[in-house]
Every structure is written in structure tokens, then in C-alpha cells.
């Protein structure tokens, strides 16, 4: 196995148990070729639409569970089980077998559709409409609102008021929404398409040269595995499923019957240290999230060790600064500047390590080099490089027409794309089960940290307003859509089905998720009001809160712009330096235990991960010491069972209850991000 550092190391990866033939359950055929006649395509579209509706109901209408934020999404796993059950029944009754490739292709399509639905949709609505809503009561917001072109966002008026306060008996004013919705769809679709094209160009390097393990792909592959030696026949799998599902079942029963004892899902250990300087640890907690424990066992040991150690040392650095007299306003996101620096350095390393295959594909795109016969790629080199060049150009043109300078649009889009590509790499190499493993906000904050809001303010008030309206792109979970595309390429190689079908699944899923998600969100907003849905309690949900903070900061910039921030610039450069040093040391010394991806994960979003990672690292070290690779592989079904219990039992049951508005789901919140 090759790391981004360029060194080759022995693999404990999940790729090893999957190198052989994957067994099929009854009714599922493993033949390579499968066709997608109209009936099967309609079934896939219907299931994807149901998945989007499920996400919309759980996350927008009732805000009880983030089924679309699970990795993989809960609706995709439910559809996988449904198709497997249907294949089994069809085989028993009519002797008809379903193609494993088709079932996994539908799973991929639904994963993309579900992940593209509400987090991004909600964020973009709030960031592009909040100033218009508040303009009637706040003069500063009225100043902001007048800088939105009518084709970019609806102007202040009754349509916006009804969006936030609801109008259940009136029609939806689609006339004012037509152009803004088309603009947002084109912008988000082009962004996702560009990210996917870059990942397609990296595919050969990651899958064939570095042989990354793509641990998340094991989940759907193992679910469809059957036969005499299939994982479902393993007692260890059922033991792991019983443990994680049983603990969740206790909490679910407690929600129905409070007399039943419950298991705490988190412990805030920083509350044990109320006095200075140790109070700078706050917030630091231990999370009970079984899926993290399960997937961590499949991750490289050096990654989980580095992530856990790095986060502990980062929190202790806050304690040290407090002891030296510095006032620490500690938050869960104190190290995001380190994170963006780490991500930038990792991207540079990824491009450098892939320079040879990237150069070959570029020459093939220009026609200077012939393509290899029978080459199986998600898209042709000409198409991939064309999207990479024309997609950003089209996005820059749209944003420039809205009022953003070309250089600022290009810089912001570059950071968005870089973060998404590195996040996909994190998923491909480590499989960490969180959609938040990236330094959110930094795609904007890095520009203001380095250049200063004074320089940005020198462009124009309209440019600053459009820049602020893009905040949802920096905060929400667009990188995960690209990660599913990269994992789909690995899934296609193992299922197997042609790589081009991955592109079809991503295109269809993304289109369906954005269109249906946006349509149903507008319908819910005009029926209930944005102040009530998506976690709102009369004043808007979390996305509205984030948009409020963003535009309040913009108003402060109007009146008192600031210069560059040397302290935060230093942190960004330090994050890049640490990654480059780790990479150089790993290339120089085979035994060096710290992995640059582990540091990047910890500095971006390590709060939920550090303790599960540390526990699993200790356990894996013992297993490898006394059982070797054979002992390690023997326990894989147990840890997959832990993941299955969380997703297939708790996620589906609690998610379905939440989908239909059962109030008990509010009392036991399950989070996957």
C-alpha cells in the first residue's frame, strides 16, 4: 500500500479481505455484465425519490435525525436491504436472480441523492434570503439586501416574508424563484461535477498505483455478501450487532418508557476541570458513536493513533496558552486554521504524487498520446479535463455577473474544490464515518485572514455581499458528494460494473437530490415557515443562525474592515508545515508512526473521534501483537457488526419513526456527523 508520502508499507487495510471472490446471497448473481432496462431504471429513480423524501421529512420537517448525514446514508442502506429481500423472494418464486452490480449501483445513486438533499439546500436558502427577510426591520440588513441581483436571489417583499413565516393557504410564488433556483442549481451542480472530474483523474493513481482500501465500501459489499462462507453466517458479526444495537435499544426503550435505564451517549470530561488553566480544555468530550468504533478498526493504525494523539496535544496546547496568561475563548473548532493548512499541503502532495498519471491523461485529452485499449474509466480524459477547465470558468462567470471579482471567485472556488478533494482522499484511505471531517468556514476565512477584510472591502459592497452569501458552501457538506463518487469507483471495481455507470449514478443522484430536495424544501417553508422547519423554534434553525452570524459579520466589515491576521496566518502555515514534515519523515524513516492524514483529521474535526480512535488503536495493537494479521482479519466481522447494528437497526428503525413524526424520536437524538 502506498501513502501520499510515496512510501510503501505493509497493509492492514480492508482491501485484503476483499481481494477474493465476494459471495452472493440467494437470488443475487455476480456476473459482470448487467443491463439497466427501463423498468430497473424506474425502480432506481423511485427508490431514490423515496430516499430524498425520507431525508426531507427527518431533517427538514421534523428535525429528529440526520439520516442523510450517515456515512453511508441510512436510506441507501435501507434500499440495499429492500432490493436484496426482493431478489431473494423473486429467486424463490420465479427463479429470477438480480445482478449484484445493479443493486450496488442503485445504492450508489441513492447515496448521492440523499447526501445532496437537505444540508446544502437549507444552507443556500438561508444565506441567499435572510437579509431580504430582515430588511423590513433592520436598516443594516436592508443595505445588504439591495446588493442581490433579482436573478440571484428574490428581492425583499411578501414572497420572502411568507418563506420565513409561512403561508399554508396561499400558492407558492414560483415566478420570483425561477431564475434564482436555476442559478443555484447550475452553480452547485457545476461545483460537484468539477470535484467529481478531478476525482476521476485521480482514480488510476489511488486505486491502481496506491491501492487505497476505501473502507466505507466494505459496508455495502459485505451486506450483499452471502453463501456458505458469507459474513452473515459469522457469529462475531451478530455479536457486534447485538452489542451496538442492544445499547441503542436501551436508549430507544428509555425514550418510550423513562423507567428503563439509558446509556449516556457523551461525557463532557472538560467539566471536570472548572479552574484555570485546565478549563481551556472545554469543550472536550467522549462520544458514544458505535459506527466510529467499528470503522476505526478498518482504518490504518497510524492514522487513528496520529488523529487521537494530535487532538489531545492540541487541547493541551490551549491549556499551556492559558497558563501563560492568554485569554482562551475555547470552542470545538479552535484548530480549523491548522486544518486548512494541512489540507492545502495534502492537496499539493496528492498532485505531486499523481503527476505522472495526470500528465498522461492530459496528453491523452489533447490527442498527443493514445489511450490504452479497453481502458475502464468513469469518463474519458478529454471529458474530465474539459469539465475541470470549463466548469470553474462557468462558475466564475456566474459569480462575476452577480458582482464578485474574478480573482476572488477563482480563489474561493479553488479552496472549495481543494478541501473537497482532500476530504475524498481522507475517506478513500481511512474511511472515517463523518461528513464533517474538513475545516469548514476556512474556504472563506482563510482569504480574510491572509488578505484582510479591508482589502476585500475595497472591491465593493456588492462583492462582499455575494461573497457572504456563499457561506453555505464553506459550512455544509458538499465534499461528501464527491467522496461518494470516489467510493463508487472502488465499488464498481469490486462489484463489478463499468466505471462509466458510476458517472451516471452521480449525475442522476445529484440532479434528483437537488431538484426534489429544493422543491420539497420550498413547499415546507411556505407551509410552515423557515422560522419553524429544519430545527427552527420560531427564529429559524441552525442554518438561519449561521447565516445571521455571517451577515452580522458583513455589516461590521462595512463599518470597520480589518487587516490581515498574522496569528491565524501563522497557524495555517504551521498546519501545512506539520503535514510536510510528517510526510518527509515517513518517506525517510519507514518506522515513523505519525501520519499526515491523522493530523489533518484531528485539526479539522477531532472532537468526536479522539477517544474512539484511541480505544480502537490500543485494541488493534494488542490483536496484532498476539494474533497477527490472521487474528486481525478474524475480528473484522465483529466490528462490522457494530457498524451494522448502528446503521441497519437503530438508523432504519429510528429514522422511519422520525420520518412519520413520532415525538419520541426527539427525546433520543442520534447524530452521525
In this structure, are residues 163 and 185 in contact, taking their beta carbons and an 8 Å threshold?
no
| pLDDT higher than 90, residue 468 | yes
DSSP, collapsed to helix, strand or coil, labels residue 395 as helix
In this prediction, residue 469 carries a pLDDT of: 93
Q: Give 506-557 pLDDT, tens digit per residue.
A: 999 999 999 999 999 999 999 999 888 877 666 777 888 889 999 999 999 9
Q: How far apart are CA 625 and CA 628, in angstroms?
A: 6
User: If pLDDT is split at 50, 70 and 90, which confidence band does 39 have?
Assistant: confident
In this prediction, residue 306 carries a pLDDT of: 97
Contacts of 281 (CB under 8 A, 6+ apart): 269, 270, 273, 315, 318, 319, 330
User: Which of 23-32, 271-280, 416-425 has the weakest average pLDDT?
Assistant: 23-32
Q: Give 374-395 pLDDT, tens digit per residue.
A: 678 999 999 999 999 999 999 9
Q: Rounded to 5 degrees, what are φ and ψ at 256?
A: -80, -40
Sign of CA dihedral 624, 626, 631, 636: negative
Q: Which of 229, 215, 186 is nearest to 21 (CA)?
A: 229
* Assigned C-alpha cell, 343: 489540507
Give the number of other CB atoms < 10 A from CB of residue 317.
14
In this prediction, residue 351 carries a pLDDT of: 97
Provide the 8-state DSSP code for 150: T
In this prediction, residue 443 carries a pLDDT of: 94
Q: Give 621-635 pLDDT, tens digit per residue.
A: 999 999 999 999 999
DSSP, collapsed to helix, strand or coil, labels residue 202 as helix
Mean pLDDT to the nearest integer, 401-424? 95
Pairing assessment for the beta strands 285-287 and 266-268 based on DSSP bridges: antiparallel
User: If pLDDT is split at 50, 70 and 90, which confidence band does 1 have?
Assistant: very low
User: If pLDDT is split at 50, 70 and 90, which confidence band does 4 have?
Assistant: very low
User: If pLDDT is split at 50, 70 and 90, which confidence band does 458 have?
Assistant: confident
Q: How far apart are CA 393 and CA 410, in angstroms?
A: 9
| pLDDT higher than 80, residue 601 | yes
* Assigned C-alpha cell, 596: 499526515
H or E element at residue 493 = helix 479-494
| pLDDT higher than 80, residue 615 | yes
* Assigned C-alpha cell, 131: 437579509
Q: Give 85-118 pLDDT, tens digit per residue.
A: 888 887 777 654 557 889 999 999 999 999 988 6
Mean pLDDT to the nearest integer, 76-89? 90
Sign of CA dihedral 649, 655, 661, 663: positive
Pairing assessment for the beta strands 98-99 and 28-29 based on DSSP bridges: parallel
Mean pLDDT to the nearest integer, 484-489? 96
In this prediction, residue 515 carries a pLDDT of: 93
Contacts of 277 (CB under 8 A, 6+ apart): 319, 320, 322, 323
Length reported for the chain: 673
User: Which of 112-116, 201-205, 249-253, 286-290 has the weakest average pLDDT?
Assistant: 286-290
Provide the 8-state DSSP code for 299: S
User: If pLDDT is split at 50, 70 and 90, which confidence band does 14 have?
Assistant: very low
| pLDDT higher than 60, residue 47 | yes
* Assigned C-alpha cell, 243: 452489542
User: If pLDDT is split at 50, 70 and 90, which confidence band does 61 have?
Assistant: confident
Residue 254 class from Cβ within 10 Å (0-12 exposed, 13-18 middle, 19+ buried)?
middle
Query: What percentage of the chain reaches a pLDDT higher than 70?
Result: 91
| pLDDT higher than 70, residue 173 | yes
User: If pLDDT is split at 50, 70 and 90, which confidence band does 20 have?
Assistant: very low
In this prediction, residue 120 carries a pLDDT of: 59
In this structure, are residues 282 and 334 in contact, taking their beta carbons and an 8 Å threshold?
no
In this prediction, residue 88 carries a pLDDT of: 80
Mean pLDDT to the nearest integer, 471-489? 88
pTM of the model: 0.92
User: If pLDDT is split at 50, 70 and 90, which confidence band does 673 have?
Assistant: low
Provide the 8-state DSSP code for 28: E
Q: Which of 523, 508, 660 is nearest to 48 (CA)?
A: 508
Q: Which of 611, 618, 671 is nearest to 315 (CA)?
A: 611
| pLDDT higher than 90, residue 311 | yes
Q: How far apart are CA 414 and CA 191, in angstroms?
A: 10
Mean pLDDT to the nearest integer, 577-596? 95
Average pLDDT, rounded, for the chain: 88
Query: What percentage of the chain reaches a pLDDT higher than 90?
Result: 63
* Assigned C-alpha cell, 666: 426527539
Amino acid at each position: 500500500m502506498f501513502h501520499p508520502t510515496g512510501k510503501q508499507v505493509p497493509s492492514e487495510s480492508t482491501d485484503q479481505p476483499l481481494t477474493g471472490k465476494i459471495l452472493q446471497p440467494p437470488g443475487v448473481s455476480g456476473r459482470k455484465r448487467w443491463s439497466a432496462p427501463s423498468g430497473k431504471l424506474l425502480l432506481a429513480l423511485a427508490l431514490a425519490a423515496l430516499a430524498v423524501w425520507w431525508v426531507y421529512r427527518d431533517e427538514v420537517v421534523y428535525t429528529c435525525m440526520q439520516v442523510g448525514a450517515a456515512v453511508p446514508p441510512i436510506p441507501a442502506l435501507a434500499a440495499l436491504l429492500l432490493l436484496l429481500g426482493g431478489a431473494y423472494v423473486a429467486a424463490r418464486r420465479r427463479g429470477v436472480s438480480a445482478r449484484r452490480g445493479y443493486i450496488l449501483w442503485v445504492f450508489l445513486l441513492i447515496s448521492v441523492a440523499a447526501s445532496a438533499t437537505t444540508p446544502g439546500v437549507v444552507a443556500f436558502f438561508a444565506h441567499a434570503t435572510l437579509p431580504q427577510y430582515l430588511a423590513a426591520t433592520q436598516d443594516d440588513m436592508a443595505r445588504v439586501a439591495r446588493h442581490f441581483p433579482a436573478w440571484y436571489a428574490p428581492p425583499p417583499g411578501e414572497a420572502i416574508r411568507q418563506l420565513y413565516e409561512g403561508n399554508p393557504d396561499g400558492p407558492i410564488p414560483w415566478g420570483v424563484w425561477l431564475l434564482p433556483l436555476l442559478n443555484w442549481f447550475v452553480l452547485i451542480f457545476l461545483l460537484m461535477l468539477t470535484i467529481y472530474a478531478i476525482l476521476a483523474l485521480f482514480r488510476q493513481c489511488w486505486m491502481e498505483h496506491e491501492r487505497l482500501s476505501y473502507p466505507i465500501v466494505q459496508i455495502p459489499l459485505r451486506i450483499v455478501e452471502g453463501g456458505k462462507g458469507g459474513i452473515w453466517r459469522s457469529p462475531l458479526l451478530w455479536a457486534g450487532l447485538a452489542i451496538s444495537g442492544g445499547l441503542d435499544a436501551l436508549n430507544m426503550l428509555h425514550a418510550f418508557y423513562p423507567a428503563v435505564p439509558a446509556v449516556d451517549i457523551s461525557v463532557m470530561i472538560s467539566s471536570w476541570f472548572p479552574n484555570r488553566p485546565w478549563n481551556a480544555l472545554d469543550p472536550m468530550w467522549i462520544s458514544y458513536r458505535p459506527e466510529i468504533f467499528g470503522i476505526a478498526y478498518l482504518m490504518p493504525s497510524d492514522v487513528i493513533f496520529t488523529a487521537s494523539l494530535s487532538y489531545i496535544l492540541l487541547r493541551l496546547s490551549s491549556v499551556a496558552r492559558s497558563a501563560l496568561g492568554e485569554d482562551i475563548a475555547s470552542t470545538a473548532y479552535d484548530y480549523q486554521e491548522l486544518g486548512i493548512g494541512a489540507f492545502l499541503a495534502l492537496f499539493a502532495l496528492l498532485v505531486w504524487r499523481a503527476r505522472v498519471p495526470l500528465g498522461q491523461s492530459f496528453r491523452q485529452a489533447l490527442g498527443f498520446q493514445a489511450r490504452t485499449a479497453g481502458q475502464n474509466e468513469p469518463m474519458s480524459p478529454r471529458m474530465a479535463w474539459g469539465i475541470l477547465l470549463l466548469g470553474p470558468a462557468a462558475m466564475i462567470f456566474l459569480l462575476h455577473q452577480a458582482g464578485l471579482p474574478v480573482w476572488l471567485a477563482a480563489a474561493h472556488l479553488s479552496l472549495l474544490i481543494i478541501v473537497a478533494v482532500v476530504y475524498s482522499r481522507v475517506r478513500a484511505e481511512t474511511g472515517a464515518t463523518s461528513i464533517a471531517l474538513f475545516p469548514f468556514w476556512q474556504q472563506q476565512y482563510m482569504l480574510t485572514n491572509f488578505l484582510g477584510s479591508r482589502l476585500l472591502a475595497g472591491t465593493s459592497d456588492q462583492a462582499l455581499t455575494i461573497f457572504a452569501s456563499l457561506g453555505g458552501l464553506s459550512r455544509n457538506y458538499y465534499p461528501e458528494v464527491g467522496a461518494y463518487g470516489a467510493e463508487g469507483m472502488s465499488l464498481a471495481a469490486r462489484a463489478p460494473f463499468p466505471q462509466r455507470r458510476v458517472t451516471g449514478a452521480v449525475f442522476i443522484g445529484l440532479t434528483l437530490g437537488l431538484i426534489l430536495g429544493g422543491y420539497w424544501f420550498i413547499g415546507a417553508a411556505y407551509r410552515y415557515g423557515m422560522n419553524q422547519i429544519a430545527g427552527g423554534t420560531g427564529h429559524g434553525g441552525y442554518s438561519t443562525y449561521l447565516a445571521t452570524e455571517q451577515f452580522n459579520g458583513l455589516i461590521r466589515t462595512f463599518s470597520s474592515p480589518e487587516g490581515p491576521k498574522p496569528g491565524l496566518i501563522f497557524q495555517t502555515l504551521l498546519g501545512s508545515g506539520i503535514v510536510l514534515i510528517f510526510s518527509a519523515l515517513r518517506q525517510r524513516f519507514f518506522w515513523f508512526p505519525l501520519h499526515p492524514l491523522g493530523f489533518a483529521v484531528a485539526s479539522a474535526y477531532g472532537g468526536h473521534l479522539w477517544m474512539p480512535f484511541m480505544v480502537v488503536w490500543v485494541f488493534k495493537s494488542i490483536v496484532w501483537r498476539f494474533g497477527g494479521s490472521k487474528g486481525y482479519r478474524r475480528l473484522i466481522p465483529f466490528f462490522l457488526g457494530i457498524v451494522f447494528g448502528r446503521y441497519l437497526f437503530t438508523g432504519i428503525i429510528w429514522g422511519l419513526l422520525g420520518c412519520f413524526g413520532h415525538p419520541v424520536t426527539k427525546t433520543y437524538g442520534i447524530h452521525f456527523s
